[in-house]
């Protein structure tokens, strides 16, 4: 149960500075919290509420709408197996069944060692590579039952390395202060500098 760390708080302020209104940073900050703890804790939500200046209930309202945000630990590795139409046609149901059997868990639950959870998910935009899956949102294409077993073994013995659940892009956007355009919220009626003459005279 933790608020954002010092280092993450600095990132949070960076993110906040890019939006004309603070509340827009809610989803990016929820991702930051999930990256820190593996899921979104109550304390982090309260902290985010302070930062974006809304009530914690509003942050929860946003958080609970989105499938990726987890309110409880889901294991180090979240395996999302696509069961969208293209994957369905090429054997997704069998793959999910195989995953449940070999791991001894049902969809949405975590293995006893707390490492792996699986879930059938909607189309992950890799339809031509069906059947496919994501481990912590990293793709594996054309997955056979044997391929799945190799993946699980690799995750368990560390030969397959995937950033832990909650970590998305490893590179963050940086906008150096001296390079920022900073015209996010120009005064009403103020045309941007490059705009030639008042419109509407046509």
> Rule CB under 6 A: which residues touch ligand FES?
82, 84-87, 123-127, 130, 132
Q: Which of 23, 71, 115, 156 binds other proteins (CB under 8 A)?
A: 23
Q: Select the residue interacting with other proteins from 99, 130, 151, 152 (CB under 8 A).
A: 130
For residue 141 the two structure tokens come to 């294409």
Compute the distance between CA of residue 96 and CA of residue 145 in angstroms, rounded to an integer: 9
Q: In whole angstroms, what separates CA 24 from the centre of its chain?
A: 16
132 touches, from other proteins, ligand FES, none (C-beta below 5 to 8 Å by class): ligand FES
Q: Which does 104 bind (CB under 5 to 8 A by kind): other proteins, ligand FES, none?
A: none
From ligand FES, other proteins, none, interface partner of 53 (C-beta below 5 to 8 A by class): none
Q: Is 125 exposed, middle or buried (0-12, 13-18, 19+ CB in 10 A)?
A: exposed
Residues 6+ apart with CB under 8 A from 55: 49
Q: Which is nearer to other proteins, 26 or 117 (CB)?
A: 26
- Cβ contacts of 132 within 8 Å, gap of 6 or more: 82, 87, 124, 126, 139, 140, 141, 142, 143
* Residue 47 CB, nearest approach to ligand FES (Å): 35
Q: Of the candidates 11, 105, 150, 168, which one interacts with other proteins according to CB under 8 A?
A: 168
Burial status of residue 115 (CB atoms within 10 A of its CB: 0-12, 13-18, 19 or more):
middle
Query: Least distance (Å) from ligand FES to the CB of residue 34?
Result: 23
44, 124, 140, 151: residue in contact with other proteins (rule CB under 8 A): 124
Question: HSE on the CB side for 192, CA within 13 Å?
Answer: 7
Determine which residue in the list 137, 145, 150, 160 makes contact with other proteins, applying CB under 8 A: 137
Binding other proteins (rule: CB under 8 A), the pick from 1, 6, 20, 161 is 20
């Amino acid at each position: 149960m933790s608020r954002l760390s010092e280092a993450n708080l600095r990132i949070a302020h960076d993110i906040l500075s890019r939006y004309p209104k603070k509340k827009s940073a809610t989803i990016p900050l929820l991702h930051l919290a999930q990256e820190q703890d593996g899921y979104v804790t109550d304390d982090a939500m309260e902290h985010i509420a302070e930062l974006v200046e809304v009530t914690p209930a509003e942050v929860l309202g946003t958080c609970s709408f989105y499938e990726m945000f987890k309110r409880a630990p889901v294991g180090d590795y979240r395996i999302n197996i696509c069961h969208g139409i293209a994957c369905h046609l090429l054997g997704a149901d069998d793959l999910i069944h195989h995953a449940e059997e070999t791991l001894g868990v049902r969809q949405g639950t975590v293995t006893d060692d707390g490492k792996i959870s699986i879930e059938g998910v909607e189309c992950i935009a890799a339809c031509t590579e069906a059947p496919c899956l994501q481990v912590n949102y990293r793709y594996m294409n054309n997955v056979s039952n044997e391929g799945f077993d190799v993946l699980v073994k690799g995750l368990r013995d560390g030969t397959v390395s995937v950033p832990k659940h909650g970590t998305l892009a490893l590179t963050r956007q940086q906008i150096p202060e001296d390079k920022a355009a900073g015209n996010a919220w120009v005064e009403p009626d103020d045309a941007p500098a490059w705009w030639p003459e008042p419109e509407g005279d046509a």
